[in-house]
Structure 1
Amino acid sequence: MKRRYARHRRNRAAIFQGSDRIAEFLTRKWARILDYRWIKELWAFHDNRIAGRFACEYHNDSGTWFRAYSNENWEFRSDGLMQRRIASMNEHPICEGDRAFRWASPVHPYDH
């Protein structure tokens, strides 16, 4: 089953148009983000809108670890595709010893 993405995606200064270009970008992005550990907190949802907080840790192929935080608002079209995403994110390198998300599975434990 082919994934469906909205028609536009912006990543910092780059704008991707078309589902195929977006899928290619995301495939390249996820190939560089290794041992990804992610937590999320749902703040609110109503009709076709969701607001949440996210935190993640991962390393790149050079072994540098990063932690990132994000607050995001999503709005979806009637066909289920995202039509708007507003996000405030930061990302910074961390020492391996400063990692906080150390569970084995990519899915975080329920009680974390």
Structure 2
Amino acid sequence: MRPPLPPFDLDGALRKVRAAEDAWNSRDPARVALAYSEDSRWRNRSEFITGRAQIAAFLRRKWAREHEYRLVKEYRAHADNRIAVRFAYEWHDDDGQWFRSYGNENWEFDSRGLMRVRHASINDVAIDEVERVMRWPAGPRPQDHPGLSELGL
């Protein structure tokens, strides 16, 4: 079981979004993969992924090239076993070029609270290092750090 469980109320949906953000900011593929059902299906950009093993492999590749990754997710809507979020994250490549990636996700959960479907649409924008706004130490975003709306993103 991965509380909160569907059907989600507003508080449960907000807690699920923050838990997902915190897990992804850990950059631990094994930990993150445990939040998804064994047969979870993803569409991430143009890549289609099925199951925890493929999810973990995808995340290992992702974080091997996206250095100093920092993510902020924001709740948009929920109903029954579904949650919609928007997000932005900052990272740099091997050459030191910084990016801010913007996206939207639609999530669907099973009765145990594991995500069984994830659809993500993402765009990358090159930024200068001085434009970064996600500057906390590696790990979860501090509770007092502004969210996307407060950052104007």
- Give the fraction of aligned pairs with identical amino acids, expressed as a percent: 50
Higher strand share: 1
Give, in angstroms, the shift of residue 74 of structure 1. 0.8
Cα RMSD over matched residues? 2.4
The answer to whether 1:26 aligns with 2:27 is no
Per the TM alignment, residue 13 of structure 1 is displaced from its structure 2 partner at its CA by 3.2
Q: Which amino acid is the alignment partner of residue 73 of structure 2?
A: K
Unaligned runs of 5+ in 2: 1-29, 147-153
Give the residue type in structure 2 aligned to 1:74.
W
Contact 1:38 1:106 in 2 (8 A): no
Q: Is the 8 A contact 1:39 1:55 kept in 2?
A: yes
> 2:91 aligned to 58, 63, 72, which one?
58
Matching of residue 86 in structure 1 with residue 101 in structure 2? no
> Aligned partners of 2:120, 2:45: CA distance in 1, in Å?
11
Unpaired segments of 5 or more residues in structure 1? none
Distance 1:12 1:88 in 2: 5
Q: How many residues align?
A: 112
CA separation in 2, counterparts of 1:68 and 1:23? 20
- Offset, 1:110: 2.1
The one-letter code sitting in structure 2 at the alignment partner of 1:106 is: G
TM-score, normalised to structure 1's length? Answer: 0.78
**Corresponding residue for 1:14?**
47
Are residues 1:48 and 2:85 paired?
Answer: no
Structure 1 runs (4+) deviating above 6 angstroms are: none
1:23 maps to a residue whose letter is: A
Tell me which residue corresponds to 1:72. Answer: 105
